[in-house]
Structure 1
Amino acid sequence: MTKFRTKFQKALFSMFLISTIIVGGMAVPSIVKAAPIKIMPVGDSCTEGMGDPDMGSYRTELYNLYKNAGLDFDFVGSNQRGPSSLPDRDNEGHSGWTIPQVASNIDNWLNTQNPDVVFLWIGGNDIFQTGKINPTGLSNLIDQIFKNKPNVKIFVSDYYPNPDIVLPYNEAIPGVVQEKANAGKAVYFVKLSDMGYVKSTDTSSDGLHLNIAGYKKAAQVWYDSTISILRGSTNTPVPPTPTASKIVKGDVDGDGSVTSIDFGYIRKYLLGLISTFPSANGIKAADINDDGGVNSLDFAGVRLILLGK
């Protein structure tokens, strides 16, 4: 019986070594891919895309800029507007909406879409409908977003300088943003008023909204104002920290989870390439079947753990 068990262990060990060789001669570490950064563009007709025949707004060009930069992102929202050439048309741009209207819906959007980042371009219609700027409403809306999603990043833009009635609002927005930033909030200003707007070439036929050329200029400002911050964002899951007294079977590197990295360490140990494991409890963690040693059965046991069996 002992002889048979030894032959079985050798055969089993050889089988797993062969499977390892097939994928390159060593166990391939598991790679935890960061989730795409979920970006929710929020605003009025400028975000939805009025003035652009395809209703792509700045989002069309910004999508291309982010992709060319290698950013892993996902536009989110309940509204889908844009050209067929735009793979991701999700947004929360709503033509004619004011800050109070956005505030009435933002909690539902946040809960449904769960964004990591919010692009906020709103307040123009408040001026058109009431004749007054609404920086207080903007401030309250930012607070409302952070109350719902404390870890979100918010980018707040002003408007290109058309019509002139938006200019006082443009002057007020940076102060609102700075107040939140001074309070430790992750809120940033996007100065679209510096996009190099030329009324004769960047305005649509309605005389108010941007055309495609204008939206491309706006997209460049959004990109320049956000890319370095977004590149520093990460959604990679953090493995749980194990307690000092608990030994996770198979977790020979002591990071609190069993991955193919642990599988690779056990393989190297059985081949005599290493004589110990990274964690203090590595030997005990590697002894899956608690028979007092680390052998091919433990090697097979870790593989079964990784396969969810």
Structure 2
Amino acid sequence: MDAVLSRRAAVLGGVVAAAEVVSGRAVAGAAVGGESGGGVRVMPLGDSLTDGFTPYPGGYRVELWRLLTAGGRTVDFVGSQSNGPAELGDHDHEGHSGWRIDQLDAHVGTWLRQSEPRTVLLLIGTNDVNQNLDVAGAPDRLSGLIDRITGVAPRCDLFVATVPPEADRARQTRVVAYNAEVPRVVAAKGPRVHLVRMYEALTTADLADGTHPTREGYGKMAAVWYAALRSVPGSLTAYAGRARG
């Protein structure tokens, strides 16, 4: 009987944890056993576009992993979250569905200290646009988040992406306005912060639900990330010592 109850509790716990990831609640302190095959520690950081919440669990991380492996790169995805299909060799990430810039900012210091990434892939801002809460202030919030990341992990290479298009016309107007400010923000942050032009890689035909990409759309995103990483060779080279400065 105890064994049956234990199995039921484990299943229920998994369901609750999954629900919290989708809703954006209680994920910051989630303890997830990390996978590691060694190699360069890369943190995919953001919202559901990193999580791959819908319609394709794992999102761009699946194809990015394939590209890195095919290119002879040994990479360790890191983060407190974990999901994705079997073909994704490392399921760890820091994508939090429904989260805005300020919510990442509140927890990213802890995540960075726990995971010690060599490289961070940041894609955030879609929910600032969609939730329509002080959209005009989003670039300044992004600037503050970048400062937080570089303050905690000054030696890491940080790649900051513009957000993909939206099918809804009003949201798309806000996306364009937000993305127009991202290059200015990134340019002020020094040589270890790199702009990734994700917006131009997708069209609304690549969206499954008006916001989240199809599997093919996520593949296009992966190609952009891969090209960005290859353009900064050191970002795929592990530190000799610890990642923090």
Normalised TM-score (structure 1): 0.61
Q: Which residue of 2 aligns with 1:138?
A: 142
Q: Which residue of 1 aligns with 2:225?
A: 222
Are residues 187 and 170 of structure 1, via their aligned partners in 2, closer, same or farther at CA, if it must alter by over 3 Å? Answer: same
Are residues 160 and 151 of structure 1, via their aligned partners in 2, closer, same or farther at CA, if it must alter by over 3 Å? Answer: same
Q: Which residue of 1 aligns with 2:61?
A: 59
Query: Which of 182, 198, 201 is matched with 2:203 structurally?
Result: 198
Q: Distance in 2 between matches of 1:233 and 1:220?
A: 15
List per-residue Cα deviations over 1:246-277 (Å, max 9, x = no partner).
xxxxxxxxxxxxxxxxxxxxxxxxxxxxxxxx
Large movers: runs of 4+ above 6 Å: none
Q: Which runs of 5 or more residues in structure 2 are unaligned? A: 1-37
Normalised TM-score (structure 2): 0.76
Q: How does 1:8-23 map to 2 (within 5 A)?
A: none
Q: Distance in 2 between matches of 1:81 and 1:107?
A: 22
Q: Which secondary structure state, in structure 1, belongs to the residue aligned with residue 135 of structure 2?
A: coil
Q: Distance in 2 between matches of 1:86 and 1:64?
A: 8
Q: How does 1:145-224 map to 2 (within 5 A)?
A: 145-162=149-166, 163-164=171-172, 165-181=174-190, 185-195=191-201, 197-200=202-205, 202-204=206-208, 206-224=209-227
Q: Distance in 2 between matches of 1:82 and 1:161?
A: 24
Letter of the 1:199 counterpart: T
Q: Distance in 2 between matches of 1:232 and 1:169?
A: 26
Q: Distance in 2 between matches of 1:108 and 1:207?
A: 32
Shift of 1:72: 1.7
Q: May I ask how many residue pairs the two structures share in their alignment?
A: 197
Structure number with greater CO (CA < 8 Å, separation at least 6) is 2
Letter of the 1:70 counterpart: G
Q: Is contact 2:165-2:211 (8 Å) kept?
A: no
Instruction: Calculate the aligned-residue CA RMSD, in Å.
Output: 1.7
Name which one, 1 or 2, has greater alpha-carbon Rg. 1
Are residues 232 and 39 of structure 1, via their aligned partners in 2, closer, same or farther at CA, if it must alter by over 3 Å? Answer: closer
Q: Distance in 1 between matches of 2:42 and 2:235?
A: 14
Q: Which runs of 5 or more residues in structure 1 are unaligned? A: 1-34, 239-309
Shift of 1:160: 1.8
List per-residue Cα deviations over 1:29-64 (Å, max 9, x = no partner).
xxxxxx6110001101111103333x1111000000
